[in-house]
A and B are shown apart, each in its own frame.
Chain A
C-alpha cells in the first residue's frame, strides 16, 4: 500500500488578528452599536476571529463614504488610472496568494488544493481581466461613452468567498463605480484581508467598503436609498426577497441564484474523462457550487458501466483536513448547511432512492459529509428537484437525446448544464435546447474571467464575467 503521509500547508503564513472591525472609508473602524460575531473553522469548530456586525448606522456611514468617493475621486478618475489600481490589487493578490489561500481554507473548509489551484488564480485573473477593460469601456459595445451607475451594494455567499468578491468588485471598479460589499457571515475573513490589500494598494478611501454581518446587515444594505445598484449571489429565496425590496426603486439589480444542473452523459462519451467531470461537477468544493452538476443524467445503456467507474473513482477521494495538500473533499461550511444536506439526503432514502458512499473516515470534530450518490432517482424525488448544495449526486437515466433535454430542462432553475459525447453535432444540438446560462461540453465547472456566467429562470438574471459582466455596472 502507498499511504500518503500528512502534507499540511503551514498555517503560520496567515497573521490573524483576534478581532476585526468594519472597513469603511479606507479604515478599519468599530461598529456603532458594538455588535460582533465569531467566525469559526468548520473543519475543527475552533474560533478563528471575532468580527464586527454592522448595523443600520454603519451601513449609512459606508454608503456615504462610497458616495463621496464616487463623486469626488473614482467617478471622475480616467479609466487608465483606475486600471493602475486594479492591476496593483491583482499583483498584490498574486503576491499574497498563499496567505489568502490558507485563510480561505481555514474559514471556509475547502481543500487547500482548490483554494490554491482554483480560487486564488481565478481571483487574480478576474482583477487582471477587468483592469484591462477600465480604459477601454467605449469599445465594450455599450455606446461611445458608457457611464458608471454609482454606488453598488454587493452581497456574496460563503462558497467561494474571495472569488465571489472578485466577481463583484473587479467589474464594478473597472466601470467606475464604488462598492459596499457584505461577505457571508460564516466566511468574512478573506474579505477583510482583501481590505488590507486595498490599503496596501493605496486605493482611494471609500472606493471599497466591507461590512461584515448576517442577514440583517445585508437587508439594510440593499434597502439603503443611497445605493444605485444591487448585486447578489446566493439562495433563490433571498434573491426573491431582494427583488421585491428593490422593486419600484431606481436601483439596478443582478441576481445569481441557485441551480440544479444536469450533467448529461451519452453512450459515446469518453467514459474516463466523463467520470472525472462528474466527480469535479459535484464533489468540487464539497458540492457548495451553485452550478454544481448535481443531477447526473446518464444514457441507460451505459449507466451500469459509468456508475461502476464513478464508484471506483469516488473511493479514491480523500476527505479530511482542508489544509492537507492531498485532501480532495474538505469540510461542510457550517452546521446549518450540514443539517440541510442531511435532511435532504434522508428524504432521498425515505423516498426510495438507493444511497451509496465510499468507505471513508470522517473527523470527529467539525462538519463533515461523505461524498454520496443516489441511484434509482426519478424526477419526482426531492433530491432531483431541490438544490442540496452539498456532495450529493442524484443519478437519473434517459434513453434518447430528446428525453435528456426534457429531463434536464424540467427544473425551475437554469444555471448550468454539461454534455458528454464524442459527437460534435450533438453538442450543438443539445446546447441549442438546454435552458441553462452556461453549457459545458466534455468538461464541467470550468471558469474563466473572459467568459460570461449567469442563469435563466429561477437561477437569476444578469451576467458576470467577460464583456457582458460590465453591463451590470454601466448605465446602459
Chain B
C-alpha cells in the first residue's frame, strides 16, 4: 500500500465521526447518469460467451453461488439437504465444483454447520483481519462457507441491541459470513451516521465472520443513492456490499450492480482495501450469471473474478448452471428432472 492510500484511508476513516463530514463526502461523490449507466449495463449484456469461455464461466459461477433459502417454512431437514447440495451440486459428476456458501436464517445455522462439518469441512473462518481473502481454507475448516442473514433481516426494523444479538447468535452457531441489512429508513431520512454506526457495531459483533452489507437497492431507488450507500458501507468496514434481500419486488439488476462495482473499484483505488460485491435475487439463468461475470471482468477486472470477491445470492440459479454445464460436457440437454431439487 502506498503512502498516499494510507493517508487517504486514515482521512476517510475520520468521516464516520461526524454527520456533516459523512454527508459532505457522500453528496460530493460524482453522480450517476441513469440512462448512461443502464446503457452501459445493457451493452455489457451483449457479449457473446461461447465454448471454452462459457465452460469456464459456468464453473466460476457455481463456485460463486451463495445457495440460499430464507423462508418461514425452512426446517432442519430442508437446510440439511441444501447444505448437502452445496457440497456436491452434481452427484453424477465429481468434477463439478462446490458452491461458495450456504445462506440461511440464524436459527438454521446449526443444522447446516453439522452437514458442512460432517463432510470433513465444518465451518469457521481462518484467522485474518478484515478484508483478508479467505480462499483455500486451512485443514479442518469449511470448503463451503456458512452465511447467515442477521440484524432483523429483511426489514432491519428492530432495536439495535436485538440486531446485534441476532448477529452474535448466528456467529456463535457457526456462521462465518454475516449478511446484514442497512437501516434504509435512516438512510433515506439522511441520518447517515446512524447507518454507519450500525454497520460498525454489527462488524464488531460479527467478530471474525465476514460482513456482507445488504443495501436493499430496490428501496434506495436511485443510482446516486446506491453509490452513496455503497461508500457508506465500505467506509464503515463492510467486507462485501450486497444488493438485495430478495424480499422486495426489485432485487439485483445489472445497472445497480455496475454502480456498486464502480464503487468498490474506486474505493480500492482510494484506500487500498478490496471489498466484494454480491448481487442477490432475480438472477435465475446461466445467461444472466454470465452477463454479470462479463460486467465484473470489464469493470473491475480479474481481481474480483473469485468467490472471495464476488458472489451470487440465488437459489434456482444453481440448477440452471448445472443443466448448462451438463449440456456443454455431454452435448445433450437433460431435463430438470435430472437435477436435484433441494
Contacts and interface: CB of A to CB of B under 8 A. Distances in A.
Interface of A: 1-7, 113, 117, 268-274, 276-277, 316, 325-326, 422, 442-443
Contact of A443 (B36, B50, B57, B302): B36
Interface in B41-60: 46-54, 56-57, 60
B37 A272 contact: yes
Nearest to A316: B298
Q: Which interface residue of A5, A268, A276, A443 has the most chain B CB atoms within 10 A?
A: A5
Contact of A2 (B40, B51, B297): B297
B48 A442 contact: no
B30 interface: yes
Contacts of A442: 33, 35-36
A271 B294 CA distance: 21
A270 B46 CA distance: 23
B48 A277 contact: no
Interface string B288-330: 0000011001100010010000000000000000000000000
A326 B48 contact: yes
Given A269-B30, A443-B36, A5 B293 contact: no
6 contacts: A2-B56, A2-B293, A2-B297, A272-B262, A276-B39, A442-B33
DSSP class of B's interface residues: helix, strand, loop or mixed?
helix
B267 to A, nearest CB: 14
B138 interface: no
DSSP class of A's interface residues: helix, strand, loop or mixed?
loop
A240 to B, nearest CB: 37
B48 to A, nearest CB: 4
Given A2-B57, A113-B46, A117-B46, A270 B32 contact: yes
Contacts of A3: 52-53, 56
B50 A2 contact: no
Counting chain B residues whose Cβ lies within 8 A of the other chain, the interface size class is: 20 to 34
A231 to B, nearest CB: 31
A316 B247 CA distance: 35
Nearest to A279: B40
B31 interface: yes
B36 A270 contact: yes
A104 B35 CA distance: 28
B305 A2 contact: yes
Contact of A5 (B31, B36, B50): B50
A113 B54 CA distance: 19
B328 to A, nearest CB: 12
B230 to A, nearest CB: 13
Contacts of A2: 53, 56-57, 60, 293-294, 297, 302, 305
Nearest to A277: B36
A422 B52 CA distance: 43
A326 B51 CA distance: 14
Given A272-B262, A273-B36, A276-B36, A4 B49 contact: yes
A7 B32 contact: no
Given A2-B297, A271-B30, A272-B30, A326 B35 contact: no
Nearest to A315: B301
Q: Which interface residue of A3, A272, A276, A442 has the most chain B CB atoms within 10 A?
A: A272
Contacts of A270: 30-33, 36-37
Nearest to A313: B298
Q: Which interface residue of B33, B40, B293 has the most chain A CB atoms within 10 A?
A: B33
Q: Which interface residue of A1, A4, A274, A316 has the most chain B CB atoms within 10 A?
A: A4
Contacts of B53: 2-5
Contacts of A5: 49-54
Nearest to A444: B36
B50 A7 contact: yes
A268 B31 contact: yes
A316 B48 CA distance: 15
Nearest to A269: B30
A117 B302 CA distance: 27
A276 B54 contact: no
Given A269-B30, A271-B30, A442-B33, A325 B48 contact: yes
A121 to B, nearest CB: 13
A14 to B, nearest CB: 19
Contacts of A268: 30-31
A326 B50 CA distance: 11
Q: Which interface residue of B40, B48, B294, B302 has the most chain A CB atoms within 10 A?
A: B48
A66 B298 CA distance: 51
Q: Which interface residue of B36, B37, B46, B51 has the most chain A CB atoms within 10 A?
A: B36
